[in-house]
Amino acid sequence: MAEDKNTLDPDADPYWEGAAKGVLRYRRCTNCSIAIFYPRSICPNCGATDPKWAVSEGAGVVYACTTVHRAPPAFAERAPYTVLLVDLDEGFRMMGGLLSEPCETTVVVGDRVTVTFTDGPDGRPAPYFKPV
Ligand SMILES: [Zn+2]
């Protein structure tokens, strides 16, 4: 998939800049203190604007996992692959790939994982998790 700058969210630019350096950034509301991911400029909990940027340690617990066998076109060459939902220690949940074999054999719900970034199908850095 070709990158189309017009479809990107400028509010998320610090996220992408961090991802390019292997740093996971998220936002935290300055009013109600919840962690916000994906990054948004308005808190989904209280509506406060301009939450502050923060850096995650990138460690968390697998909340759910699934193995994709019929992938969308951009990911077709990577199938089968495993997608995880991970609860990060800072208090937000995010999706990422698994950097290894399908999850039935390598991770289960409740396992500890850490994030890393590799090139996604569109050339931008994509989050992947690996078992601790
Ligand atoms: Zn808030």
Which CATH number does the domain housing residue 83 bear? 2.40.50.840
- State which residues form the domain around 45: 5-131
For ligand 1, the distance from its centroid to the CA atom of residue 51, given in whole angstroms, is 8
Which positions of the chain have pLDDT values less than 50? 1-3, 6
For ligand 1, the distance from its centroid to the CA atom of residue 30, given in whole angstroms, is 7
For ligand 1, the distance from its centroid to the CA atom of residue 25, given in whole angstroms, is 17
For ligand 1, the distance from its centroid to the CA atom of residue 122, given in whole angstroms, is 32
For ligand 1, the distance from its centroid to the CA atom of residue 99, given in whole angstroms, is 33
Distance CA 51, CA 16 (A): 17
pLDDT at residue 11 in the model: 81
Distance CA 3, CA 95 (A): 20
Classify burial at 7, counting beta carbons within 10 Å of its beta carbon; exposed 0-12, middle 13-18, buried 19 or more: exposed
Number of domains within the chain: 1
Residue among 42, 41, 25 at smallest CA distance from 90 = 25
pLDDT in tens, 65-74: 999 999 989 8
For ligand 1, the distance from its centroid to the CA atom of residue 97, given in whole angstroms, is 28
Distance CA 44, CA 81 (A): 31
For ligand 1, the distance from its centroid to the CA atom of residue 22, given in whole angstroms, is 27
For ligand 1, the distance from its centroid to the CA atom of residue 84, given in whole angstroms, is 26
Token pair of 63 as six digits: 């909340």
Distance CA 127, CA 70 (A): 20
Whole-model pTM: value is 0.86
pLDDT in tens, 11-39: 889 999 999 999 999 999 999 999 999 99
125-131 and 93-98 strand pairing:
parallel
